[in-house]
């Protein structure tokens, strides 16, 4: 497949959605002993398909290179754990899951979600490609296959007798370069009367709130409900319900079944979200063409703030080392001269440097020692959780800053 061919419908890609220049892989953190060495940069250029409206990047690194050894552990976010626990309770209630049921999670990470099913006595299996992350889940006693999910893995598991009543995949669809192989895996593995749920950031919210920093190489695609409905239908799977969620700046949770499982009727929520997308212009190419204007405005506003603070002799540190933050900082050309360091709760990131910008990552305790004037919250989707955790920052007169959708200081 050509780099300029749509991974959903194979149409030529000619329309730019957002061009963030050349950046490194957003999760390719740098060890200090490699700080003086080169790292690869790739075009961060998002296109939109003029035929099916899938927003997407070209593929420059394979999933094996990106996710074989991963530094994102879901359990370090308490709000995400709460989200997972709530989901588990709702699914058990809605679909009458019990001791005879079986749940399979795709990209199960460190067991952040499956642990709650297991505690309720439901059989579980995780499928996780990153061996270092899967090891944490296994230490919790959660069965985990170390594999990338697609038709090959689905056939192997199906041959072993796995037929889940519920399949779930949170924030993984965007990470998949071969969408058709991935979705066909659900068709193969899901029990005839089973249900699959998938969560992913909603393209509509990304556009409404200027969330361009969520564009990075590890996210190959960005989805509207229109695109996802079409994609799953091509594989004999019907999208029968959808929920709008506040997570990750605004996400969708879709519910999918086999097309011949008519016992689960399509809800009115599907038509409602589709209508909202149409009314917002997501089926018109001009809507996508104008998105880039807000990207440039956000860059200018952040640089204005940081440069002004520097000239006033004020110190800025950051909170978090998320992929979205690396997109933002690299696109804006911000380094340690403007943001002295960032802090992160994950010990797996502490002591490393952010890719491209080489901003050092420290433990949160470093803030009390440095007492910066401003704390730039890079994972803005967790702002409430972070502000609560870092209330001590107010003690020395520090203020918080979020850059998206537009800069806000308080």
pLDDT in tens, 146-158: 999 999 999 999 9
**DSSP, res 249:** G
CA–CA distance, 195 with 190 (Å, rounded to integer): 7
pLDDT for res 147: 96
Peptide bond preceding 84 in cis form (omega within 30 of 0):
no
Classify residue 301: in a domain, yes or no: yes
pLDDT for res 1: 39
pLDDT for res 70: 56
Classify residue 39: in a domain, yes or no: no
SS3 assignment, position 371? coil
Classify residue 355: in a domain, yes or no: yes
Task: Determine the distance from the C-alpha atom of residue 28 to the mean position of all C-alpha atoms in its chain, rounded to a whole number.
Answer: 16
Q: How confident is the model at residue 292 (pLDDT cuts 50, 70, 90)?
A: confident
Q: Is 275 exposed, middle or buried (0-12, 13-18, 19+ CB in 10 A)?
A: exposed
- With tokens 């695109």, the residue in question is 227
- Residue 257 sits in the same domain as residue 296: no
Q: How confident is the model at residue 63 (pLDDT cuts 50, 70, 90)?
A: low
Beta-strand pair 361-362/342-343: parallel
pLDDT for res 248: 87
pLDDT for res 58: 86
- Residue 231 sits in the same domain as residue 118: yes
Contact of 265 with 295, CB cutoff 8 Å: no
Q: Strands of 316-319's sheet, edge to edge?
A: 361-362, 342-343, 316-319, 374-377, 399-402, 408-409
The pLDDT of residue 71 is above 70:
no
Residue range 158-209, pLDDT digits in tens: 999 999 999 999 999 999 999 999 999 999 999 999 999 999 999 999 999 9
User: Percent of the chain beyond pLDDT 70?
Assistant: 96
Domain count, the chain: 2
Terminal Cα distance for the chain, rounded: 48
pLDDT for res 59: 77
Orientation angle between helical segments 151-159 and 179-189, nearest 10 degrees: 20
- Residue 296 sits in the same domain as residue 270: no
CATH of the domain at 137: 3.40.50.150
Classify residue 31: in a domain, yes or no: no
The pLDDT of residue 62 is above 70:
no
CA–CA distance, 203 with 221 (Å, rounded to integer): 10
pLDDT for res 293: 87
What is the mean predicted confidence (pLDDT) over 28-37?
95
Orientation angle between helical segments 225-233 and 268-279, nearest 10 degrees: 130
The pLDDT of residue 66 is above 60:
no
CATH of the domain at 375: 3.40.50.720
pLDDT for res 4: 86
Contacts of 114 (CB under 8 A, 6+ apart): 103, 105, 108, 124, 125, 126, 137, 142
| pTM of structure | 0.88
Classify residue 55: in a domain, yes or no: no
The pLDDT of residue 61 is above 90:
no
- Residue 253 sits in the same domain as residue 299: no
CA–CA distance, 161 with 144 (Å, rounded to integer): 15
* Mean pLDDT of all residues belonging to the chain: 94
The pLDDT of residue 69 is above 80:
no
Q: Strands of 42-48's sheet, edge to edge?
A: 15-23, 42-48, 55-57, 221-222
- Residue 162 sits in the same domain as residue 270: yes
Q: How confident is the model at residue 2 (pLDDT cuts 50, 70, 90)?
A: very low
- Residue 297 sits in the same domain as residue 273: no
What is the mean predicted confidence (pLDDT) over 198-223?
96
User: Percent of the chain beyond pLDDT 90?
Assistant: 90
Last residue of a domain, one of 247, 281, 315: 281
- Residue 245 sits in the same domain as residue 98: yes
- Residue 245 sits in the same domain as residue 322: no
Residue range 129-141, pLDDT digits in tens: 999 999 999 999 9
| Enclosing domain of residue 116 | 67-281
The pLDDT of residue 282 is above 90:
yes
The pLDDT of residue 12 is above 70:
yes
CA–CA distance, 3 with 357 (Å, rounded to integer): 27
CA–CA distance, 323 with 60 (Å, rounded to integer): 16
More confident residue, 117 or 60: 117
Classify residue 37: in a domain, yes or no: no
Classify residue 62: in a domain, yes or no: no
**DSSP, res 267:** P
- Residue 236 sits in the same domain as residue 351: no
Classify residue 315: in a domain, yes or no: yes
The pLDDT of residue 65 is above 80:
no
- Residue 220 sits in the same domain as residue 177: yes
**Closest to 356 in 3D by CA, of 39, 90, 127:** 39
What is the mean predicted confidence (pLDDT) over 238-259?
96
- Residue 236 sits in the same domain as residue 316: no
pLDDT for res 77: 81
Last residue of a domain, one of 281, 307, 326: 281
Contacts of 79 (CB under 8 A, 6+ apart): 382, 384, 385
Residue range 373-390, pLDDT digits in tens: 999 999 999 999 999 999
Last residue of a domain, one of 252, 281, 310: 281
What is the mean predicted confidence (pLDDT) over 340-345?
96
């Amino acid at each position: 497949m050509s780099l300029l061919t749509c991974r959903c419908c194979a149409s030529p890609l000619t329309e730019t959605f957002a061009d963030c220049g050349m950046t490194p892989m957003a999760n390719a953190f740098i060890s200090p002993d490699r700080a003086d060495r080169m790292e690869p940069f790739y075009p961060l250029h998002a296109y939109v398909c003029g035929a099916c409206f899938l927003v997407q990047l070209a593929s420059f690194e394979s999933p094996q290179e990106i996710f074989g050894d991963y530094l994102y552990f879901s359990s370090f976010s308490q709000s995400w754990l709460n989200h997972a626990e709530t989901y588990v309770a709702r699914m058990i209630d809605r679909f009458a899951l019990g001791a005879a049921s079986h749940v399979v999670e795709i990209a199960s990470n460190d067991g952040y979600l499956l642990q709650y099913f297991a505690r309720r006595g439901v059989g579980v299996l995780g499928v996780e490609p990153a061996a270092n992350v899967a090891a944490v889940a296994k230490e919790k006693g959660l069965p985990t296959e170390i594999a990338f999910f697609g038709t090959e893995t689905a056939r192997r598991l199906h041959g072993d007798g796995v037929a889940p009543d519920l399949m779930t995949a949170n924030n993984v669809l965007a990470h998949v370069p071969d969408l058709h192989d991935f979705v066909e895996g659900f068709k193969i593995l899901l029990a005839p009367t089973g249900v699959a749920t998938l969560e992913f950031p909603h393209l509509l919210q990304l556009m409404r709130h200027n969330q361009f920093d969520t564009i990075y190489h590890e996210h190959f695609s960005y989805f509207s409900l229109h695109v996802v409905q079409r994609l799953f239908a091509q594989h004999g799977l019907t999208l029968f319900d959808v929920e709008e969620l506040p997570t990750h700046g605004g996400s969708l949770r879709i519910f999918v079944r086999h097309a011949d499982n008519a016992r689960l009727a399509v809800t009115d929520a599907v038509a409602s979200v589709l209508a909202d997308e149409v009314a917002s212009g997501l089926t018109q190419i001009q809507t996508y063409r104008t998105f880039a204007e807000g990207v440039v405005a956000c860059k200018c506003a952040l640089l204005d703030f940081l440069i002004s603070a520097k000239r006033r002799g004020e110190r800025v540190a950051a909170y978090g080392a998320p992929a979205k933050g690396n997109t933002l900082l690299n696109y804006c050309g911000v380094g340690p001269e403007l943001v002295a360091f960032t802090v992160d709760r994950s010990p797996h990131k502490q002591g490393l440097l952010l890719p491209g910008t080489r901003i050092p990552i420290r433990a949160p305790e470093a803030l009390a020692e440095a007492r910066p004037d401003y704390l730039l919250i890079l994972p803005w989707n967790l702002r409430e959780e972070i502000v609560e955790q870092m209330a001590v920052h107010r003690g020395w007169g520090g203020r918080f800053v979020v850059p998206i959708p537009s800069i806000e200081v308080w």
